[in-house]
Structure 1
Amino acid sequence: METDKKHLGIRRRTLVFAAGGMGAAAGTQAQLAQLAQGPQGPHVVKIIVGFPAAQATDVVARLLADKLPAVTGGNYIVDNRPGRGGSLAMGALARSPADGSVMMLAHMSAVATNPHMYKSVPYDPLKDFEAVGLLADLPFVLVCHPSMPFNTIEQLVRYAKENPGKLTNASSGNGTVSHLAMEDFKARAGIDILHVPYKGSGPGLADVVAGQVSLALETAAAVQPFIQSGRLKALGTGTTKRLSTMPNVVPIAEQGFEGFSAVTWLMLLYPAGTDKHLVSNTFAAMNKALQTPEVDARMRQIGVIPRFSASTAEAAAFIGSEYAHWGEVVRRSGVRLD
């Protein structure tokens, strides 16, 4: 009896979403709104983000926080906790109550690369979280200062081989995707380019724009304004297909580097132990809120590609496969951080 009372209390405090597809009936909508109410009114759910405001992950999180209330009737706020490539935020989520009041829009690096690079992180990515589902991919683009004497990947590789050690590449920090993917590219090409790490994509791109650094492999969302203004030159994308916002930029994989990929993903997570029905209902609500032409257009406009999991089980399996894949990339790179 005591257990039943405790369970009932948790259910009353927990934000519960009713499952609803794109064709949800009016009755289901009413149920969603009702279940999102707590004893004192609508619940406030915190969405943790491991990066500063205005970066791509934050923009997507705020879009999610803006669209979910229409589906669930709840309230959502974004909590930015930058540091160590999202690892500090992941640690905070792992320590959060598993009652639906806290979730995280997690970046791939915090889940799949950081645990392999740092001597220790305050969480186990395979045990400490409940996967809800993917929301988006963040494609990367290799850019350079317009004065650089190359316009294609082939020309870049030839120049780098003829001028070993002359070129430099900025990254948004040691161990980030912009660092690891660039190291992978340099190893494939057999070229020597000096890595220059920064604290975030902004400072690094600023130095590339100023001509102090030669290259940068950064998200399309970050480089797009510079490309459009002519302050940076795009050499290739890290995607398998051309981006709709950059149709004239050829993927690096099509320029002699088949299999090369520089794309990171965003996934919604809960702390481990969160009620399975809540996870499933959140999955349905998230998909309903974001799979609209309006949201699709907005994401693509800022250089983000919408991507959704088929189920929560698929999302969980995806974490395992990505953890293994990026562990091998990190091992090959030799990057280890304190």
Structure 2
Amino acid sequence: MPRTTTPSLSSFHSPQQRVQHSPSRRDAVTTLLGLAGLAAFAALPQAALAQGGGWPEHAIRVIVPFPASGATDLVARVVAQKVAHELGQSLVIDNRPGAGGTIGTAEAAKAPNDGYTLLFTTSSTHAISPHLMPKLAYKADKDFTPIAHVADAASVLLVTPSLPVKNVQELISYAKANPGKLNYATSGNGTIVHLNTAAFAAQAGVQLTHVPYKGTAQSISDLATGQVHMLFDSIPTGMPHVASGRLRALAVTSEQRTKLAPDLPTIAESGLPGYSSVTWFGVYGPAGMKPELVAKVNAAFNKAIQTPEVAANLAKLGADVAKPGTPAQFADMVKADSTRWAKVIKDNRITLE
């Protein structure tokens, strides 16, 4: 049996990458999965009585286009616990993994738009894969109804301790003085780790050499010994190595500092204004959902992510809850994210090969 590793939230954008979990967090992850799963699959009679008649009259199917026990699945189940309470019906998580999330996403696009099938997904399927996989069986901007922005997961910029840099500005200066000599690890072509670094190098005006691995966990040892020099990793998997002294953390990729690593500056405030990258989690329905249904689902998810319990449990998985917003705001955010990654992919000629 393969070892269980921490959900690597920084690799969600990969059309090929499977999410892993850390042995050090196995008990916490299992507990979260069990608690959220029980809540998600069990109807709540009291809430149902309070809700009254009308939609939803029975369980709601939530397609998660990634594997069970993966990071997206865990995030979905944690939030589903509270959403089920708000709506008065069970939310049945239906994992449909494959092809980087695009198989389950395509299935969700073809479902009835009656509010009984939802899609819980990430940046991968709607902001990145459309630019890497032109023959998708769905159109991200036309085949879905945007509903709610749920959470974001930032990445952390890590370097090998042997590199004589203490911050982002020193890293950029060192890279400029040694063009092409610094290499960076990724979890594969087209992953968010790859895109984060390509965007960083382009904005900083430096030349870096790409060294793809099958997963970021496999690159940690090489990073610690200096065989590779830098890596954008998820906060839960990267920071324990920083605490032990094996790696050095320079900054986080989010627009604002994250509560998950409050002492680390953002890359934007460290010398690259405007740099920002997170893996977002969000909820969609099939195209053409009635506005009143969209409003109900949006309100339920917004209320769920404002509870301290959900925020705390998502933090254990490396995610910050999103600011509650409207479906239109979610759609605008995804459109901007998609446009930005399309440019990075095109300018750097990134492919899955």
1:47 aligns with 2:66: no
| Aligned partner of 2:81 among 37, 54, 66 | 66
**Equivalent in the alignment of 1:32:** 51
1:333 aligns with 2:352: no
1:225 aligns with 2:244: no
**Equivalent in the alignment of 1:122:** 137
CA positional deviation for 1:34: 5.3
Q: Deviations over 1:172-217 (max 9, x none)?
A: 3322222112101112223222212344443344653565432211
SS for the counterpart of 1:267 is strand
Unaligned residue ranges in structure 2 (runs of 5+) = 1-45
SS for the counterpart of 2:76 is helix
CA positional deviation for 1:253: 1.3
Question: Relative to 1, partners in 2 of residues 1:83 and 1:214: Cα closer, same or farther, differing over 3 Å?
Answer: farther
CA positional deviation for 1:301: 4.2
SS for the counterpart of 2:256 is coil
Question: Relative to 1, partners in 2 of residues 1:102 and 1:173: Cα closer, same or farther, differing over 3 Å?
Answer: farther
Deviating more after overlay: 243-252 vs 313-322:
313-322
Contact 2:183-2:208 at 8 Å conserved across structures: yes
The one-letter amino acid paired with 1:165 is G
**Equivalent in the alignment of 2:293:** 278
CA positional deviation for 1:337: 3.8
Q: Separation in 2 of the partners of 1:170 and 1:81?
A: 29
1:94 aligns with 2:113: no
1:311-322 aligned within 5 A: 311-322=326-337
| Aligned partner of 1:248 among 253, 259, 263 | 263
The one-letter amino acid paired with 1:95 is K
Q: Separation in 2 of the partners of 1:133 and 1:231?
A: 38
**Equivalent in the alignment of 1:167:** 182
The one-letter amino acid paired with 1:283 is N
The one-letter amino acid paired with 2:301 is M
Q: Separation in 2 of the partners of 1:204 and 1:76?
A: 37
1:178 aligns with 2:197: no
**Equivalent in the alignment of 2:280:** 265
Q: Separation in 1 of the partners of 2:220 and 2:67?
A: 17
Contact 1:34-1:73 at 8 Å conserved across structures: no
Deviating more after overlay: 283-292 vs 269-278:
269-278
Contact 2:63-2:108 at 8 Å conserved across structures: no
Contact 1:134-1:265 at 8 Å conserved across structures: yes
Q: Deviations over 1:32-67 (max 9, x none)?
A: 2655675xxx51523314366342x33311211222
Contact 1:104-1:268 at 8 Å conserved across structures: yes
Contact 2:187-2:215 at 8 Å conserved across structures: yes
Contact 1:50-1:80 at 8 Å conserved across structures: yes
CA-based RMSD: 2.7
Number of residue pairs aligned between Structure 1 and Structure 2: 308
Q: Using structure 1 for the length normalisation, give the TM-score.
A: 0.80
Q: Separation in 1 of the partners of 2:260 and 2:108?
A: 34
The one-letter amino acid paired with 1:89 is G
Q: Deviations over 1:112-137 (max 9, x none)?
A: 12212223212101110011110111
| Aligned partner of 1:215 among 200, 220, 230 | 230
Unaligned residue ranges in structure 1 (runs of 5+) = 1-26
Contact 1:49-1:61 at 8 Å conserved across structures: no
| Aligned partner of 2:325 among 267, 291, 310 | 310
CA positional deviation for 1:83: 4.2
CA positional deviation for 1:313: 2.5
Question: Relative to 1, partners in 2 of residues 1:127 and 1:285: Cα closer, same or farther, differing over 3 Å?
Answer: same
Question: Relative to 1, partners in 2 of residues 1:37 and 1:280: Cα closer, same or farther, differing over 3 Å?
Answer: closer
Question: Relative to 1, partners in 2 of residues 1:203 and 1:77: Cα closer, same or farther, differing over 3 Å?
Answer: farther
Question: Relative to 1, partners in 2 of residues 1:198 and 1:32: Cα closer, same or farther, differing over 3 Å?
Answer: farther
Q: Separation in 2 of the partners of 1:208 and 1:91?
A: 37
Q: Separation in 2 of the partners of 1:135 and 1:205?
A: 30
Contact 1:47-1:76 at 8 Å conserved across structures: no
Q: Using structure 2 for the length normalisation, give the TM-score.
A: 0.77
